[in-house]
Amino acid sequence: MRLSDLPAVEPELGAFRDAAAALIQDFDAAPDLDARVAVLKRWDAWRAEYEAAEHLAGIRFSQDIRDAGRKALKQGFDQVEPDIKELDNSLLRRVVDSDVGERIGAHLPNIWRCSLESFDPAIADELRAESELANRYDEVRASARVDFAGAPQGLSSLRGFYGDGDRAVRHDARKAQNQLLAGIGGELDGLFSELVDVRHRMAQKLGQDSYTPLAYRLLCRTDYDAGDVAAFRGAIEDRIVPLCTAIRGRHAEQLGLEDYAFHDTSVSDALGVPRPKGGHDWMIEQATTMFERMGPDFTRFFDQMKAGELLDLKVRDGKVGGGYCEALVHYGLPFIFANFNGTQDDVNVFTHECGHAFQCWTTMQRDVLRDVVWPTYEACEIHSMGLEMLTYPHMELFFGEDAERFRRGHLESSLLFLPYGATVDAFQHEVYAKPGASPDERAAMWRGLEQRLLPEWTYVDLPVFESGRFWQRQGHVYSNPFYYIDYCLAQTCAFQLWRNARADHEGTMAQYRELCRLGGELPFRGLLQAVGLDDPFDPDTLARVADDVAGVLEL
């Protein structure tokens, strides 16, 4: 089955209403638990088919935002999504009040309660507006260009220059990035102001004082809250930021710089970032060898990805920036989207998204309900960030003699990421606590957090970033609010997998496979307990991780 063979299906709200009404009628008439579970499974299969059509529309739009037909199809699904949500909830409301939990466990009913508590038909117009604004953000970013290195460059292709060994090149590349964002910055400020306003209105209509608790419900965070996250951010500031300052200081020495600045933060030495020894097709060949070495399950997984056209990795005009993995559960297929730029980023993004894809592929081998295929986001990111580190032994395939330099740089950058992730999360908490703030006031919030958590980010000739608008390049802030701390939580777990693998690689791979197999069967902390990983919200966990990494890096 190939992606290009899958049909483009228009959303048909009337047919959906009829099917939902029939399922609700059957559920209400079900004489016993077995019959109710049978109706639930029918509902799940029917929703998976609709969801596959919706996700395909999103995938094809992200592949070429210039195509009017693809845009119209995605907008069609976005427009009916609130109606679909209302119909879904009509059945789920019955399910969570029934005895079905006796058969499927408590976790899925808790997830569905999050869905019920975060939606009401009264916010349908706001949900449509939110989708339109997020789509517009993607379009603006994807279409923006700036002349650099003799050609028009977008944000994705510019990334290939940030880690150049020539300081002048990486400085000029950052200036080009700054110039590009300056050209669209006013529109991005306006879009974000509208998004904040729309989300605040949704929260108020649902009886919340601010959007933050609604966002936590939308993310299905059932076993921790904003207080836990704030304490975790505090531990990053106290324990990790000093280590990051030490790493940056070492980099400045290795670069021979007394005026170390932001445009130097992507490199650790005068050689620049390691680069794969070949292009896209060569990378796929190397990845094939890597997965063959990792075992028959990884081999079967990657063979299906290649045969099914489930890898879209080349950068091109009209393509949305960034990377993601999507699951087409109805077809049993994962899909990976990325934008290769010829640097180590390609390996990082590829192994990251393959971690997501391998997990959902593994879980889809089981007979599970659709909402078990993915766990909540912070658990999903353990699969991705974990595989980045568990593939360390195979990096010679991509980097040759630079493999050890890559591994050390990746370990450093994984630690350096934590304060940035905490900054993105803290920024969003501040923004939604003060929804009426002006764009300049939001920029001041960001800049204040940067100076606390990212003190080595000294900007030179970068007025947009100096003004406090670096966050505009972070798509999650626009399209996936409050998601970003999930990467920090997951990285804390990925470091544990890295540590465990140094002592027992095969045993750790078994631990990783079991985490993937479980999928979303349990909440975040329940999954950690099931496979023997320490809870990131325990401050001792982050301290132990910091000591492990600091020891290897000799900090």
Q: pLDDT tens digit string along 145-165?
A: 999 999 999 998 999 999 999
Closest CA to 132 of 63, 184, 61: 61
The secondary structure of residue 438, as a DSSP letter, is -
Q: DSSP string spanning 86-140?
A: HHHHHHHHHHHTTTTHHHH-SHHHHHHHHHHHT--GGGHHHHHHHHHHHHHHHHH
Asked if 200 contacts 211 with a C-beta cutoff of 8 angstroms, the reply is yes
Residue 514 belongs to a domain: no
Residue-number span of the structural domain to which 60 is assigned: 3-128
Q: How far apart are CA 123 and CA 32, in angstroms?
A: 35
How do strand 324-328 and strand 333-340 relate by DSSP bridges? antiparallel
pLDDT in tens, 517-543: 999 999 999 999 999 999 999 999 999
pLDDT in tens, 291-329: 999 999 999 999 999 999 999 999 999 999 889 999 999
Residue 369 belongs to a domain: no
Q: How far apart are CA 153 and CA 147, in angstroms?
A: 6
Per-residue pLDDT, 188: 97
Q: What is the mean pLDDT of residues 339-362?
A: 96
Residue 285 has pLDDT above 90, yes or no: yes
Asked if 374 contacts 519 with a C-beta cutoff of 8 angstroms, the reply is yes
For residue 303, what are the contacts with CB-CB under 8 A and spacing of at least 6?
Answer: none
Per-residue pLDDT, 1: 86
Closest CA to 39 of 92, 87, 83: 92
Going by pLDDT thresholds of 50, 70 and 90, the confidence category of residue 348 is: very high
Residue 84 belongs to a domain: yes
pLDDT in tens, 243-271: 999 999 999 999 999 999 999 999 999 99
Asked if 471 contacts 427 with a C-beta cutoff of 8 angstroms, the reply is yes
For residue 307, what are the contacts with CB-CB under 8 A and spacing of at least 6?
Answer: 2
pLDDT in tens, 163-187: 999 999 999 999 999 999 999 999 9
Domain count of the fold of the chain: 1
Closest CA to 145 of 96, 181, 187, 106: 181
Residue 550 tokens, joined: 């600091």
Per-residue pLDDT, 267: 95
Residue 202 has pLDDT above 90, yes or no: yes
Residue 44 belongs to a domain: yes
Task: Write down how long the chain is.
Answer: 555
* Chain centroid to CA 547: 27
Give the percent of the chain with pLDDT over 90. 99
The torsion region of residue 512 among left (phi > 0), alpha (psi -120 to 50) and beta comes to alpha
Q: How far apart are CA 501 and CA 455, in angstroms?
A: 32
Residue 59 belongs to a domain: yes
Question: Cβ of 353: how many Cβ atoms within 10 Å?
Answer: 23
Q: How far apart are CA 277 and CA 402, in angstroms?
A: 10
Per-residue pLDDT, 259: 96
Q: What is the mean pLDDT of residues 404-416?
A: 97
Mean pLDDT of the chain: 96
Residue 529 belongs to a domain: no
pTM above 0.85, yes or no: yes
Asked if 483 contacts 287 with a C-beta cutoff of 8 angstroms, the reply is no
Q: What is the mean pLDDT of residues 222-230?
A: 97
Q: Angle between the 524-531 and 505-518 helix axes, to the nearest 10 degrees?
A: 140
Asked if 479 contacts 426 with a C-beta cutoff of 8 angstroms, the reply is no
Residue 180 belongs to a domain: no
pLDDT in tens, 56-90: 999 999 999 999 999 999 999 999 999 999 999 99
* Chain centroid to CA 128: 22
Q: How far apart are CA 200 and CA 435, in angstroms?
A: 7
pLDDT in tens, 446-466: 999 999 999 999 999 999 999
Distances in whole angstroms, Cα of residue 180 to Cα of each of 177, 186, 219, 354, 416: 5, 12, 32, 31, 26
Tokens 């590829």, located at residue: 350
Q: How far apart are CA 121 and CA 83, in angstroms?
A: 8
Q: How far apart are CA 173 and CA 184, in angstroms?
A: 17
Q: What is the mean pLDDT of residues 411-416?
A: 98
3-class SS string, 184-211: HHHHHHHHHHHHHHHHHHHHHHCCCCCH
For residue 333, what are the contacts with CB-CB under 8 A and spacing of at least 6?
Answer: 1, 3, 304, 308, 310, 327
Residue 330 belongs to a domain: no
Q: Bridge partners of 333?
A: 328
Question: Cβ of 99: how many Cβ atoms within 10 Å?
Answer: 11
Q: DSSP string spanning 448-509?
A: HHHHHH-TT---SS-HHHHTT-GGGG-HHHHHSTT-THHHHHHHHHHHHHHHHHHH-HHHHH
